Structure 1
């Protein structure tokens, strides 16, 4: 994309997002430059598992984890997967203890947005990459025994239908992960 078009998009975004542009501190030009800098993705040089393990959890009164701290919610994360830059969505997996001795903890499901997969016109389909971390899934638990690895799956993502698992790459290291500050503050 030509540089002048990117500036036009950034300018429109700066006007459209409330609170980004202020009349103080250098005016509109400075705010547009700050917005451009905030949109840059930073390579973390961490695997996806290292990122998940770096999250700090909030624990509820009942002893179960409720989510990550606000510090971890300040960022969006992405990974290069199947030839494309894929934004990641994290959703928690709350354990239900089978007995009192089991540790109360939180696992994760991590996924990309849908993208095209397939090697010919006859088998093109929309899929998502999905990784599991510390869930009840037996393959996930086996994978966690290997340092730095996560269980990778492909999830078929047909329009208007329930997703279906269609295999995956198994237990492997994924990374590096990229991050950038969210453009809008997180609100609970």
Structure 2
């Protein structure tokens, strides 16, 4: 299906028009001036599918480097590797920058990580840490209308745990008694990139 186009008037100076004409005349296929402008705009803005491909390439490179590195050489912190592996935006890894252009490509994007960390920090400071089931209720996970799901919450909490946010008492409270699903027990499990990162 061809996307509906909209008429848009654009005034350009003679020098810019000359550069556009030179660019389109150098193309192997002939095209109108308006098609040339369309292609140049698309190239300048980028395409969503290109952003996804670049994200997957960056993710692959981080994970391969982490999985194949000499165990004595720590290329990235565990939290950073885990975040890329589970597609959680690594908000707290401020010394690394590879993730920054891809803030919206992660399954748990930057804004969601910020919002959850702020909520948990407020509850921690108030000495009123929610259980994991209470956290799911807060985000209305069971309704099916929330941007959050159980596994996004688990993965984001695990990223925070691996980054050493909060203290042991906080994580014990979040996972207290039977007030959490069995999958959530993995939040505080040790992480080993060589064993825990899979390609599939």
TM over 0.5: no
Of Structure 1 and Structure 2, the greater helix share is in 2
Of Structure 1 and Structure 2, the greater strand share is in 1
User: Which of the five TM-score ranges fits, normalised by the shorter chain?
Assistant: under 0.3
Answer 1 or 2: higher relative contact order, Cα 8 Å, separation at least 6. Answer: 1
